[in-house]
Amino acid sequence: MKKTWWKEAVVYQIYPKSFQDSNGDGIGDLQGILRRLDYIQSLGATVIWLNPIYASPQVDNGYDISDYQAINPAFGTLDDFKQLLDGAHRRGIRVIMDMVLNHTSDKHRWFQESRKSKDNPYRDFYIWRPARDGKEPNNWGNYFYEDRGSAWEWDEATQEYYLHNYSKKMPDLNWDCPSMRQEIYKMLRWWCDLGIDGFRLDAINRLQKPQGLPDSPRPCAPPVNPYGYIVDREMCANQPGIHELLKELNREVFSRYDIMTVGETGNLTSIKALPYVSESSREINMVFHFEIAKNPHLVTPAEYKDIQKRWADVIRQGGWGTQYLTNHDSPRQISRFGDDGELRVPSGKMLAMLTHTQPGTVYVYQGEEIGMINVDFPSIDYYDERYTLGKYQSMVEQGADPKAALDSLKMMSRDNVRTPMQWNDGKNAGFSEADPWLHVNPTYRAINVRAAEQDPDSILYTYRRLISLRKRHPVMVYGDYVPVMEAYENVVAYTREYGDEKWFMLFNFQKETQQVVFPPWLHPESAGLIMGNYPAPNDPSVLQPYEGRIYRLR
């Protein structure tokens, strides 16, 4: 297997709006991040990924870009960005940008031109269609459940509809348009020439729309979309033609620089993954799949193991993968996969150990390393993000009890991870002098960076140790992955082997204690315990709630 820096990387994801405010307006910014680079360095992360920082009306917190080559003034200036890039590089930290190529803001100059007339040179940059029988061109619903649901918006000026899979303020770009593609490549090269180190590619497997934009054939039950439009995320995912587009992107941009690329690919399982990420495909380096993190259905440990095994095979066949349990779109991992009450600390450590010892590049989302948990907002007025608001409204319009609607959305709301970073137990958790744009999670008094740094037994130190282990032991990155003891439903166990080294990882993925019998070839009593989230056991065959252990067999 070829060694590369991005396989060895530990990426720290920063949600700039919520990380650190430097000028007292309640909004995180680039100077704030600059101030915290030493903290990120002390964690050991080797790359930071910034959620979108471009000029944007902030309909979707920056995923609605109005100018790809300008910085959102609330975050700072291009000069601030260059300082940040430089500050990171001086600390040996690379920087990757979140790049949104599926859509722009409706305020983007291209769209402003495009909607002017049917013969405008920018018309084809977006997807315009005439009405079908006086209605929308097809039955697609937008993913944000916005405005009664259609994915099409009527435009009076030219008497046609435009496609928006997300908000109507985020029209989809038309990747069948060659001149649009050239503009995008130019813009991407401009960022690379500035010295950035890669891209996280938003919704990248959705660029190619299906030929003829057919109706979705899949029925859709209320309360998901009561208006007859079908929110079918399969329709635009992994369509024929997508690989040609990615190969062109690679040829025109990615292959010309020493950068990493990670695609966000909803609706992609391991079965179709290899063409995207195999080295010989020359497309992108790795993808974020959602088989574990996004699914509202909580995976069982057995499903978790099966998913990990299938993605390990993708790597074995010449691709690469990612390991993460939280990002800016999913709940806090401890609340979801662990226990955010009494067992917060052991379960937080176990989830970290799991993530860092399985194959793939590791991603840590801000606050995860101190064990931040979901927020319990008392009413819908506290929420900000489009998806929760849209879904809430559509449920209430349909007659649902508002409180029940809110309760059903709470666990999965994206605002759980977007509350401000908890730096200390002072005013606004040390995030800002002013009222933050989104309420601070009241748990900040106990859960914050300062407290974690003062407690050698905190989750934070587990992250620091794991990351430093990863740097010293290539087995954690390149080691062959073999699941063991598979008969225990709630136990996750595997070996990793690389050169002379062989490690054994053992996790009790549940609240209950568990007794195990080791296979005859495995003698944990004589193996070295590299790390655990409980004191070394007297009897290794008894696993405590959410216990995790890393052994070195040779």
Q: Residues interacting with ligand GLC, by CB under 6 A? A: 60, 63, 100, 166, 202-203, 264, 328-329
Catalytic-role residue among 106, 172, 202, 283: 202
Torsion on CA atoms 393, 397, 403, 406, rounded to nearest 10: -30
Q: Which is nearer to Ca ion, 29 or 415 (CB)?
A: 29
DSSP per position, 391-428: HHHHHHHTT--HHHHHHHHHTT-GGGGTSPP---SSGG
Q: Which of 370, 421, 434, 436 is nearest to 36 (CA)?
A: 421
- Asked if residue 223 has a cis previous peptide bond (ω within 30° of 0), the answer is yes
434 or 516: CB nearest Ca ion: 434
Q: Which of 264, 339, 415, 547 is catalytic?
A: 264
Question: Measured between alpha carbons, how far is 419 from 17 in angstroms, rounded to an integer?
Answer: 9
Q: Which does 23 bind (CB under 5 to 8 A by kind): Ca ion, ligand GLC, none?
A: Ca ion
**Residue closest to 59 by CA, chosen among 107, 5, 12:** 107
Nearest distance from C-beta of residue 7 to ligand GLC, angstroms:
23
Residue 27 touches which of Ca ion, ligand GLC, none (CB < 5 to 8 A by kind)? Ca ion
Nearer to ligand GLC, 54 or 63 (CB): 63
Per partner kind, with CB cut-offs from 5 to 8 A, the member of ligand GLC, Ca ion, none near residue 100 is: ligand GLC
The answer for 515, left when phi > 0, alpha when psi is -120 to 50, beta otherwise, is beta
**What is the closest distance, in whole angstroms, from the C-beta atom of residue 434 to Ca ion in the complex?**
8
CA distance 149 to 142: 6
Task: State the distance between the two ends of the chain, measured CA to CA, in whole angstroms.
Answer: 21
Q: Which residues of this protein are in contact with Ca ion, per CB under 5 A?
A: 21, 23, 25, 27, 29
What residues pair up with 161 in beta bridges, in sequence order? 129, 154
Residue closer to Ca ion, measured from CB, 29 or 160: 29
What is the per-residue burial (b if ≥16 Cβ within 10 Å, else e) of 138-154? Answer: bbbbbbbbbeebbbbbe
Closer Cβ to Ca ion, 25 or 486, answer by number: 25
CB of 325 to ligand GLC, least distance (A): 15
Please report, to the nearest 10 degrees, the dihedral formed by the alpha carbons of residues 474, 336, 294, 485 taken in order. Answer: 50
Q: Which is nearer to ligand GLC, 106 or 547 (CB)?
A: 106
* Residue 136 touches which member of Ca ion, ligand GLC, none, C-beta under 5-8 Å by kind: none
For residue 98, the one-letter residue type is D
Is 202 assigned a catalytic role? yes
Q: How far is the CB of 343 from ligand GLC (least distance, A)?
A: 29
Taking CB atoms, the residue at the shortest distance from Ca ion is 29
| Class of residue 381 by CB neighbours under 10 A (exposed 0-12, middle 13-18, buried 19+) | exposed
Of 315, 328, 311, 145, nearest to 222 by C-alpha is 145
Task: Output the residue with the shortest Cβ distance to ligand GLC.
Answer: 63
Which tokens sit at 306?
């099966």
So which residues are the catalytic ones? 202, 264
